[in-house]
Structure 1
Amino acid sequence: MYLADRSAPSGAQTGPDRGALRAPAVTSAVLALGTVSMITDISSEMVTAVLPLYLVAGLGLSPLGFGALDGVYNGVSALVQLTGGHLADRVRNHKLIAGLGYGLSALCKPLLLLAHSLGPVGVVLALERTGKGLRTAPRDALISLSAPAGAQGRAFGVHRAMDTTGALLGPLAAFLILGAVADGYDTVFGVSACVAALGVVVLVLFVPGTPALSATAGQNPAPPASEARGPGRNPGSRHSRAHPTAGPREALALLRLPRLRALAACAALLGLTTVSDAFVYLLLQRRTGIGEQWFPLLPLGTAAVFLLLAVPAGALADRIGRRTVFLTGHALLLAGYGLLLWAPGWPVLPYLVLVLHGLFYAATDGVLPAAVAATVPRQLRATGLALVGTGQALARFGCSLAFGGAWTLWGPGPALSAAAAGLLCSAVVAGFVLRPTAPAADLSP
């Protein structure tokens, strides 16, 4: 791909290749989508920052009950994500489906003001996650279709950095509200609803629609097998099938791509042993004795590191290979688990754990969709992203249920030890499956 082009003589590029090389790595579409995600994440993370403490301390949920609810919180979006990706590809309007998802999530925020028991809270959270599931794949497809093929990691890194800016500001806003208002939880939910509505307005006004399939940005190095109708057939010709229907048969055919199968399998396997953020913060709070009033600030540490390093990590993945960066991120997460389990009670311990947690996200969150985008044809981009994202999210749903049950039965220490052992084994398997000696399954650009 683009790495090979760097060795060509100056001026040798012609036609689409020259335009692809001159295309900006960060387009206005990526910046607009990043702004929408930043605003939406301020809204979402205001709720997420106080939710674990609100449910466990306020509503009295057990770790098992919280694990089930946290699993539903993540699992519902996984189930809907595939639908959102398929719909976006089928109607060829990624902005429309993403907008429906953002709108549904915004409508659910004020409903939290009316839900003060486990059942209603669970229903509202499930609906909110349905909106997230609808929007995730179409949004990521818009990013990949708006960026040059050789700069996908950087584009996703910029988006994730802007998204994480919202993740940084959301908990800070929740912290300030809880400190200033007596009935702080309801105020947090109300302000969150207003911010979410602003994000929908920005999406409608400033995010462009799906780029034309003939654009050079985000193209794959070779046309998919389904488009290879014969020698000399030009995929861009009006006589060729340049805009095939994204039906169920075409979506299922994606699983025949070796690279996509490898990515989906490894993402799911690693997700099965990735403890959810909420549990990490609860473990850190119990391990270090951090006061409840400071709990909403814990996600700030993760978000700050993620914000600083998301773009460099994405650019590094484009240069040295996405496999190396992706697996390094999981190694750093494993180191964080080790500190929570065995490190002495250093005053610096919370900062170390949060730094490693943020490094994990910087090295994986944008790198994985960039790798998927490089393996999937344009007309099925959202579906391919949704396939991998759904598998990963369902695996994390299972991890939340299992970890909550293990915490209830064995205690937090043995539960985290089991998760760490599983993550180590999963990372070894993923390193073998994605090894450079198997180019069809490689994560490199």
Structure 2
Amino acid sequence: MKKAPLNRNIVGLGANSFFTDFSTEMILPLLPLFLERFLHATKTQIGIIEGLAELSVALLIALSGFYSDRLGRRKGIVVFGYGLSNLIKPLAFFAQSATMIMTIRIGDRLAKGIRVAPRDALISASTPKGSSGFVFGFHKMMDGAGALVGSLSAFALLWWLGESETTFRTIFALSIIPGLISMAILIFIITDVPFTPSPAKRFRPSALPAQFYWLVGFQTLFSLVAMNYSFMILKAGDNGLSLAIIPLAYALYNLTQSFFAIPIGKFADKFGKAALLSFVYMAFGLGAIAMSSGSVLGVWLGFAIYGFFAGGFNSLAKAIISDTAPYDLKATAYGVYYTSVGIATLISLSAAGWIWDSYGSTLLFLIASISAVVLAFALFIMREKFSHTSDNFS
């Protein structure tokens, strides 16, 4: 008899992610604007800050994942990572320089680096056979729903209190409330899924299958040519969207991300995760083209399409890893994946800021769109390289 895909751990980890993203997205859509308007940072500086933040995740994810696989337990590491992150983020309230924001972002991302691989491995260990696309889609949907509530809260507070620096700092401080709720859920609802680890030994790349490396290769190449949410937000202002409305456009991105996450996962389980991932790449390309138009309509279309992309990009990758990686190396596999993508993201965001400052935003978005479309076609053609046999429990 096939087990139901949603159980206590899957729902609880989803709720934890909902409130964590609620907290995070009260801050993230405002940080690029806060840096540019009140701390007078350049686009290059913003790109470097975001790139270093993503690299910080990458540096710890691999170590955390490997340690989790050697320990045979996940929950303790996950609790520590979430707790550290939820205490660091509200410190943006005190920031007086771009360097201080960079320190906070790196600290938050280091905390994410600690928790992500063991958390994803815990989700994988709690996932019934044949349901990985749906389960990771559900988790992404909860991420997106929390992010939607967080960005709408930021918009409401900006609208109510005004666009002053004091308002920004107040929002940063209030973000600690949903963060504390997320911690309570994690501590009191989630149960660990212990396992007997393989004897400690030096990790060999050959221990992970070829399908895994095809995934890492494509995701890394894509991350080299794609910019993240920060440049979408800055482009919205560049296209003429008012500061107070930008969080609302960002909320549209979170709405479409949450809405499409589960359908993407279901279709992936039925028709193939690599095929769906190629459509996700294509969506990013179309969204970047819309943003490059320079119009306010292009901003709304861009954020809506970007939400579809975000609903599948990492969740499909995590589902593929869940299906292909050996049981006792899943956290290690997630670590290798995030490390590669994180290094590529640092390079991408640093280059994106320089291109914007030197040649303008239109060229940046056109490069990203063309590259994404080319990679989408290449991935679709080579999708059979991702065929697999799942080793999750049934």
Is contact 1:325-1:364 (8 Å) kept? no
For 1:160-218, what per-residue CA distance to the aligned partner results, in whole angstroms no more than 9, with x for missing partners?
111111110111111222233362122111111232122112111111112x54xxxxx
SS in structure 2 at match of 1:248: coil
2:277 matches 1:326:
yes
For 1:55-81, what per-residue CA distance to the aligned partner results, in whole angstroms no more than 9, with x for missing partners?
011111111111111111222112111
Is contact 1:320-1:444 (8 Å) kept? no
Query: 1:290 aligns to what?
Result: 241
Q: CA deviation at 1:247?
A: 4.1
Is contact 1:254-1:384 (8 Å) kept? no
Alignment of 1:371-390 (within 5 A): 371-390=320-339
Query: 2:289 aligns to what?
Result: 338
2:255 matches 1:275:
no
Query: 1:248 aligns to what?
Result: 202
Q: How far apart are the structure 1 equivalents of 2:299 and 2:104?
A: 32
Is contact 2:79-2:187 (8 Å) kept? yes
Query: 1:208 aligns to what?
Result: 191
* Structure 2: stretches of 5+ with no match in the other structure: none
Is contact 2:324-2:389 (8 Å) kept? no
One-letter code aligned to 1:353: G
Is contact 2:133-2:316 (8 Å) kept? yes
Query: 1:80 aligns to what?
Result: 60
For 1:10-55, what per-residue CA distance to the aligned partner results, in whole angstroms no more than 9, with x for missing partners?
xxxxxxxxxxx42111121010000111111111111102101000
Q: How far apart are the structure 1 equivalents of 2:264 and 2:370?
A: 26
2:216 matches 1:264:
yes
SS in structure 2 at match of 1:293: coil
Query: 1:222 aligns to what?
Result: none
* Cα pair distance change 1:115/1:342, threshold 3 Å: closer
Q: How far apart are the structure 2 equivalents of 1:246 and 1:298?
A: 48
Alignment of 1:76-225 (within 5 A): 76-181=56-161, 183-210=166-193, 212-213=194-195
Is contact 2:291-2:301 (8 Å) kept? no
Q: CA deviation at 1:282?
A: 1.6
Q: How far apart are the structure 2 equivalents of 1:270 and 1:443?
A: 22
SS in structure 1 at match of 2:41: coil
Query: 1:356 aligns to what?
Result: 305
Q: CA deviation at 1:281?
A: 2.1
Q: CA deviation at 1:293?
A: 1.2
- Return the match for 1:41 from 1, 4, 21: 21
* Cα pair distance change 1:342/1:294, threshold 3 Å: closer
One-letter code aligned to 2:199: T
Is contact 2:79-2:186 (8 Å) kept? yes
Is contact 1:321-1:443 (8 Å) kept? no
2:250 matches 1:299:
yes
More helix by share: 2
Q: How far apart are the structure 2 equivalents of 1:334 and 1:51?
A: 25
Query: 1:311 aligns to what?
Result: 262
Q: CA deviation at 1:443?
A: 7.0
Q: CA deviation at 1:357?
A: 0.7
For 1:311-332, what per-residue CA distance to the aligned partner results, in whole angstroms no more than 9, with x for missing partners?
1110110000011100001111
One-letter code aligned to 2:242: G
Q: CA RMSD in A?
A: 1.9
Q: CA deviation at 1:425?
A: 3.4
* Cα pair distance change 1:197/1:352, threshold 3 Å: same
* Structure 1: stretches of 5+ with no match in the other structure: 1-20, 214-241
Is contact 2:286-2:369 (8 Å) kept? no
2:350 matches 1:413:
no
Query: 1:442 aligns to what?
Result: 387
Q: How far apart are the structure 2 equivalents of 1:365 and 1:325?
A: 12
SS in structure 2 at match of 1:424: helix
For 1:229-285, what per-residue CA distance to the aligned partner results, in whole angstroms no more than 9, with x for missing partners?
xxxxxxxxxxxxx641354325x4435x21111111111011111111110122133
Q: How far apart are the structure 2 equivalents of 1:377 and 1:443?
A: 12
Query: 1:392 aligns to what?
Result: 341
For 1:408-435, what per-residue CA distance to the aligned partner results, in whole angstroms no more than 9, with x for missing partners?
1111111222222332333344344x33
Q: How far apart are the structure 2 equivalents of 1:414 and 1:162?
A: 34
Is contact 1:111-1:124 (8 Å) kept? yes
For 1:68-113, what per-residue CA distance to the aligned partner results, in whole angstroms no more than 9, with x for missing partners?
1111122211211112211211111111111111011012123222
Is contact 2:279-2:376 (8 Å) kept? no
Matched-pair identity in %: 26
- Point out which structure has higher relative CO (alpha carbons under 8 A, 6+ apart): 2
SS in structure 2 at match of 1:120: helix
- When normalised by structure 2's length, the TM-score is 0.93
Q: CA deviation at 1:342?
A: 4.0
Q: How far apart are the structure 1 equivalents of 2:98 and 2:237?
A: 23
